[in-house]
Amino acid sequence: MKKIFFLLNVLLSFIFKAEVFAQEQYQGKAINEQVENALVKNYSDVKVFFEKAYSMYPEVPKGILEAVSYHYTHFKHISYNTPESSEELPRVYGIMGLTLNGKNYFRNNLITVSILSGYSQEDIIKDTAVNVNAYAAAFSFLKNYLKITSQKPEEMLKIIAFLSELNINSTTTINDYTINLYLYGILSFLNNKENQKNYNFPDYNINLDSVFGEANLKTFK
């Protein structure tokens, strides 16, 4: 009889844990859906700016602008009036999350984008459309300068890295890891089927193993 009660308790305990796990999984899925819905809503508010930029600069593969914006701002325009999330980290501006003052470590890529695109720094900061167009123009300029004719995002990693705020001038283990982690995030965004559907860009079928190597991928995930 004691053995039966023991087995019954074990069974009930297992069922309870399974129910808790299932509930946690359901709650986690519900939260993820809420976050994704919020991102899609953010994007719908600014979708027209991305579409315009792609029409003006067809050299930029569709999805690149969204991937960068998602990484930095989740499709929200950051202005002078937006509260800072951290006093230690450099402030980013616009929907593309460009850095004006890298605090002597990060690069001032807003200035870089301004020079390459011809748009003023002030307009890039204040105007959402200009912010996207300036990044796209800078991207297009570099692609033409490097004589890249492909539309494969993985063949434009030098451009994506150059237009970031990350320190590409100093070759260290930390900098190399940080840059590659950023690039992995961009390409992973592009490889995501839901993102392709929600943000209307094609499946580039990027082989992340061939880009980063299997060993490096394990450290990124």
DSSP tally for the chain: helices H, then strands E: 10, 2
Is residue 33, in this structure, part of any structural domain at all? no
Residue at 97 is within a domain: yes
**Residues linked to residue 7 through DSSP beta bridges, in sequence order:** none
**Tokens representing residue 200 in the block:** 């209307």
pLDDT digits (tens, 9 = 90+) for 196-209: 999 999 999 999 99
Model confidence at 17: pLDDT above 50: no
Task: Tell me 153's DSSP state.
Answer: G
pLDDT score of 31: 56
Domain count for the chain, please give it: 1
pLDDT above 60: residue 43:
yes
DSSP string, 75-98: T--B-TTSPPS-SSSPPEEBTTTE
Structural domain contains residue 138: yes
Closest to 50 measured CA to CA, from 96, 93, 91: 96
Host domain of residue 140: 48-220
170 pLDDT band, cuts 50/70/90, is confident
Does 22 reside within a domain? no
Q: State the Cα–Cα distance between residues 52 and 41, nearest whole angstrom.
A: 18
Whether 163 shows a pLDDT value over 90: the answer reads yes
CA–CA separation, 68 vs 186, rounded Å? 7
Domain presence at residue 24: no
d(CA 92, CA 125): 9
